[in-house]
Amino acid sequence: MDMYRLSPGELEGFPLEDYLDRTSVSLIEWADRIQDRWPGETLVIRLKILNPSSRKLEITSPPKTWQKRLRYFFQPASKKHYVAPFKQVES
Residues 42-88 pLDDT 10s: 888 888 888 888 888 888 777 887 877 777 676 656 666 665 554 44
Between vectors from CA 13 to CA 6 and to CA 37, what angle results, nearest 5°?
90
DSSP 3-state of 9:
helix
pLDDT of residue 14: 94
Secondary structure (DSSP) of 27-83: --BTGGGGGGG--TTPPPEEEEEEETTEEEEEEES--HHHHHHHHHH--EEETTEEE
0.75 exceeded by the pTM? no
Residues 2-19 pLDDT 10s: 999 999 999 999 999 998
R_g of the chain, CA atoms, integer Å: 15
What's the distance, Cα to Cα, between the start and end of the chain in Å?
Answer: 25
